[in-house]
Structure 1
Amino acid sequence: MKSFGKRAAGARLERMRASRLWAGDGFRNIHPVLPGLRDTTAPRPTLREFLASDGRRFPLGPLPSVDPHAGWRQPPGSGLRATWLGHSTVLIEIDGLRVLTDPVWGTRASPSRLAGPRRFQPVPLPLKALPPVDLVVISHDHYDHLCYPTIRELARTPVPFVTSLGVGAHLEAWGIPAHRIIELDWWESHQLPGAELRIHAAPSQHFSGRGLKDRNATLWSSMVIESPRHRVFFSGDTGLTTEYAAIRERFGAFDLIMLEVGAHHPSWGDIHLGPVNALEAHRLLGGGAFLPVHWGTFSLALHAWDEPAETLLALGPQRGAQMLMPRLGEPVEPAHGSAAVPWWRAADHPKGRHVARQPTAEAPPKAMPWPPD
């Protein structure tokens, strides 16, 4: 099946093996897991639990969204603007350039078009309606971040890709020419030719794989997007790690921090943040406007679909976080961000009826639809 991708070989594999993160048969997380993140007594969710459908896991109606084209007609006055397009897909406008993170337009986070987690919320606009993009950033190779049909469409454009070590093998197999692929190890950087824009790969706490036999065969990374005037952090997928403090020490303050907040479970606490640990990661990174991602598109866990947003709405202001929670497709400038409002509640009450939600105040669980080890 082409959507599985391809294993690295030749010079690409040799470069991967030279990484300090290579553990002989794959990459590894080298930083100690913080104590208490994973509840070792919590049973892992079963396949039956993931396949079961109930009202807690999906919104009752479509989420409010906007066509972003009106907002894109004028350049951002501050020079930095972000448009969340669902899950971890964000179009970042930074000093005249456009960077697209983890683009996923496919209907399923799965190798199959017939099975696997299906998106409950469409992208606010077709991929072909996206304005020209200067760079695509891919954090790692999981299906909800590296989407085969989306990459096939992007292969028809001249856009270059920056990604983690090994992921380029998938991209090349799907039609992206090798000269348009830049693969980075942690702390390595790439400057976009002819532009004052640098992409840095930074640590994250996660894993990789698209099949049964390629666990950790490619690297996972967070990414720093930097221009002379602005600096943006994109977590990809990650658990909480003190390496966030090292990232802050190396790069300084961020104008925009995009952290994953959805898909969590007590038994998988070291490979996803969830909203409470995301607030701690935000603190370690030194603060800055906080745009939550990795929610509102796929049901990849057993918690209520809107639990991450409700928890952040309640706890974010208490922790002093400048929350940016725009509607899908709504361009927002971190410098001009407004107070977060619970626009997502309309999806569960399409006729206007409102029921107050109770946020989760304790550290929430973390999960993915496959076991982390």
Structure 2
Amino acid sequence: MKITRRGFFGTLAGLGATAGGFSAWASGMKTYHGPVSDHFDGLRFFDPHGAPPRPLADLLRWRFSSHPAKWPDHAPSGFADVPPSNVDGKQVRLSFVGHASWLIQTAGLNILVDPVWSERASPFSFAGPKRVNDPGIAFDALPPIDAVLVSHGHYDHLDMRTLSRLAAKFSPRVITPLGNDVTMRGHDDAIRAEAHDWNQRVEIGNGGVAVTLAATRHWSARGLFDRNKVLWASFVLETPAGKIYIVCDSGYGDGGHFRRVREAHGALRLAILPIGAYEPRWFMRDMHMNPSDAVKALVDCGAAQALAHHHGTFQLTDEAIDAPARSLDAALGEAKVPREKFVALKPGQVFEI
């Protein structure tokens, strides 16, 4: 079989977005060094309640034997948000940018989550998963950004090009799990990255807004040989309207991660949960929830309301573009959870508390 240059780099870029990267030069990047803990052995991080990433042989088996559904080249959402400069008081305004990217406005602060404005979720600018809809907020329409939360190092969550643009325009704080700060500053030392461990609480500005990093069932990498050399996390964001549990990427497992967040943080006003990038299940089960898993996660964490994300923007896995939203509707019906309790927005749509 002849593999063209375009096909070769496209395969590498696809691997980069869906499972942590395949760019050989990225494997030599600087990574975290710190004391041993209950989830760091001195070289690599691990989840005591999770599962290790699948071996490379399984990754290649999937990539070269899969039959992914055909996505459209362009699937505009029909929405575009122009957010206010700030939101004061107890209100929280959430704007869905696309995939796992959000703008959260509350208490006079503007906070971005896993911002990706690039055309591709890839180590390459010319190949790899390409977005099929525009960001729900044009970059030039962003209000002044105070803080950025980056959950982990996979290319569909940690987008260096976007972080550099944000640093140049707004110079926000970038709060991320251990080791990702080294990665960011190695790319652009203007990025004001600060790294924190699981269960660490970080205050953001005034008004009682703070974020705690929470363990999540996932992993991290950007190259072939740096698997789990930096940490990954979910976030619990304290706002005047209540706590928001932001799960950017996670498998379900036995649901213990979600129950532990409920036990540690009490009542949650809102959970943002991933519902996409889940097929085939034999490969994705440990790292990505499907909609049925996400409904169980909502019940486990006990949030009063949920919003869905991590679907419909980049084709990372085999399911159809509309499969996550359709399956979420079915899963909610099967679990007898009111459909209005777990909503899948489109890029550019807004949800307010």
Q: Distance in 2 between matches of 1:3 and 1:288?
A: 45
Deviation (angstroms), 1:126: 2.8
1:95 is aligned to 2:114: no
Q: Distance in 1 between matches of 2:65 and 2:276?
A: 17
Aligned counterpart, 1:166? 179
Q: Which amino acid aligns with 2:119?
A: T
Q: Percent identity?
A: 30
Q: Distance in 1 between matches of 2:208 and 2:132?
A: 38
Residues 143-222 of structure 1: pairs in structure 2 closer than 5 A: 143-156=155-168, 157-177=170-190, 180-222=192-234
Residues 1-373 of structure 1: pairs in structure 2 closer than 5 A: 4=26, 7-8=29-30, 13-14=33-34, 17-32=35-50, 46-49=62-65, 56-59=69-72, 61-69=74-82, 72=84, 75=87, 79-156=91-168, 157-177=170-190, 180-240=192-252, 241-264=255-278, 265-267=280-282, 268-319=284-335, 320-321=337-338, 322-333=341-352, 335=353
Change over 3 Å in CA distance of 1:226–1:46 after alignment to 2: same
Note if contact 1:189-1:201 (Cα within 8 Å) is conserved in structure 2.
yes
Unaligned runs of 5+ in 2: 1-22
Note if contact 1:22-1:28 (Cα within 8 Å) is conserved in structure 2.
yes
Unaligned runs of 5+ in 1: 336-373
Note if contact 2:90-2:240 (Cα within 8 Å) is conserved in structure 1.
no
Note if contact 1:80-1:230 (Cα within 8 Å) is conserved in structure 2.
no
Q: CA RMSD in A?
A: 2.7
Deviation (angstroms), 1:327: 2.7
TM-score between both structures, scaled by the size of structure 2: 0.82
Change over 3 Å in CA distance of 1:199–1:277 after alignment to 2: same
Q: Distance in 1 between matches of 2:109 and 2:120?
A: 29
Deviation (angstroms), 1:281: 0.7
TM-score between both structures, scaled by the size of structure 1: 0.78
Q: Secondary structure at the match of 1:90?
A: strand
Deviation (angstroms), 1:61: 4.7
Cα deviation, 1:193-248, whole Å, max 9, x if unaligned, reads 44421110001011110111111111010111112432111112111131211101
- The structure where helix makes up a greater share of residues is 2
Q: Secondary structure at the match of 1:232?
A: strand
Note if contact 2:27-2:226 (Cα within 8 Å) is conserved in structure 1.
no
Deviation (angstroms), 1:117: 1.3
Note if contact 1:224-1:233 (Cα within 8 Å) is conserved in structure 2.
yes
Aligned counterpart, 1:364? none
Q: Distance in 1 between matches of 2:50 and 2:98?
A: 31
Q: Distance in 1 between matches of 2:162 and 2:181?
A: 15
Q: Paired residues, what number?
A: 318
